Amino acid sequence: MDQDDLTTQHKDTNIETHLTIRNTQAEDIPKIIRLQKESFPYLAKYGNIWHTEELESHIRIFPQGQFIAAESDGTVVGSASTLIISLKPEYAEHTWCEITADGLFTNHNPKGDSLYGADISTHPKYRHEGIGTMLYGARKELALRLALRRMIAGGRLFNYCEQASKMSALQYANEVVTGKMHDPVLSFELDNGFRFIKILPNYLSDVRSLNFASFIEWKNPHITP
């Protein structure tokens, strides 16, 4: 199925809203930037959200890897950005700036083996309604269609700042993996079929995660190791 034709329905207790998951177009860029400001207020304070020139670069370099979730009136309520890379070794430590070429995706490698999730965001009013899962579904579909070996990402340890005085970032992640704690980012990723690999220190300047991220991986079930 072509991503432009992937339409799904989202329901809440009062209304039924039709959401379309499709590839990002140039006219979506201002809406995505507004969405980013509302989705990531902590990161927005430091300018750690997408800028126009970065989103333009994503569309130019890898258009089929950029997605939005839009309502029938054109309102953008979710977005996801990806690029293709190869890591050597396969679980090499990296920062967000390194892996995304400072957010421009100029290091995108069509011959790579891994789809890298650089960002996923949903509007605060629409969280817990399945939009993030729909966007992850579009990414997985793309990875399958391109016969990529896996999808990987670095996920912010969003609530680690609340536990940092009691445990290391690795201990915190393990508590989330075993279900003893809940983290809105890592728990969501685990629920979507990813597995936790290791901690990435100094991944992204972020007061919530104290710059720590989890290296996560989803393997293409149709590719034999």
Domain positions in the chain: 3-219
- The whole-chain average pLDDT of the chain stands at 90
Structure confidence by residue, pLDDT tens digits, 31-85: 999 999 888 887 877 778 899 999 999 999 999 999 999 998 889 999 999 999 9
User: pLDDT band for position 202 (50/70/90)?
Assistant: very high
Contacts of 90 (CB under 8 A, 6+ apart): none
Band of pLDDT at residue 118, cut at 50, 70 and 90: very high
Whether this prediction's pTM lies above 0.85 is answered by yes
Say what percent of the chain tops pLDDT 90: 78
Answer yes or no: are the C-beta atoms of 85 and 99 closer than 8 Å. yes
pLDDT band at residue 17 using 50, 70 and 90 as cut-offs: low
Q: Quick one: pLDDT at residue 44?
A: 78
Q: Is the pLDDT of residue 190 over 50?
A: yes
Burial class (CB within 10 angstroms; exposed 0-12, middle 13-18, buried 19+) of 12: exposed
- Residues near 49 by Cβ (< 8 Å), separated by ≥ 6? 33, 36, 37, 40, 43
Of residues 152 and 14, more confidently modeled: 152
* Homologous superfamily, domain 3-219: Gcn5-related N-acetyltransferase (GNAT) (3.40.630.30)
